[in-house]
Amino acid sequence: MAGHTENEIVIAAPMDLVWERTNDVESWPELFSEYASAQVLERDGHRVVFRLTMHPDERGNQWTWVSERVMDPATRTVTARRLTTGPFERMDIRWTYEPADGGVRMRWVQDFVMKPDAPLDDAAMTRRINENSRVQMSLIKHKVEELACTAP
């Protein structure tokens, strides 16, 4: 079995602002509530390799991993994958951005497989990702819309 999630939200802001803000990996700790740090390790054009570190969980564990993100500004799509997979056998993510009534529809599709010895199976991780994606998307929406209101 494999895990699959699809989540989306409409952000009432111009496309360029949504694209630029959500693809500025270095600023993700201010955009997402779950990340303690984001460190760019390599950048080549629209490709970035980076390390994300989460805030400690309820047991004090601080999860970290390295991902690769490839942005295509022409199609407003992003493909990403974990390079150090942690509890995942694989984790692939696709972000899409499209005009929508009232702003920009940002959509995240995640496909993954958990390792057999992972603390969660595919179904449990699917539930966790869906819950967290809704929380993070709502935060991003609020923060980017706030920026859109204050932009000159």
CATH number of 107's domain: 3.30.530.20
In a domain, 11, yes or no: yes
| 21 in Cβ contact with 14 (< 8 Å) | no
Phi-psi region of 102 (alpha: psi -120 to 50; beta: other; left: phi over 0): left
Residue-number span of the structural domain to which 109 is assigned: 3-27+71-150
In a domain, 126, yes or no: yes
CA atoms within 13 A of residue 85's CA, in its CB half-sphere: 15
Task: Dump pLDDT digits (tens) for 89-106.
Answer: 999 999 999 999 999 999
In a domain, 32, yes or no: no
How large is the average pLDDT for residues 2-21? 97
pLDDT at 37 (0 to 100) = 97
In a domain, 92, yes or no: yes
Domain tally, the chain:
1
pLDDT at 152 (0 to 100) = 66
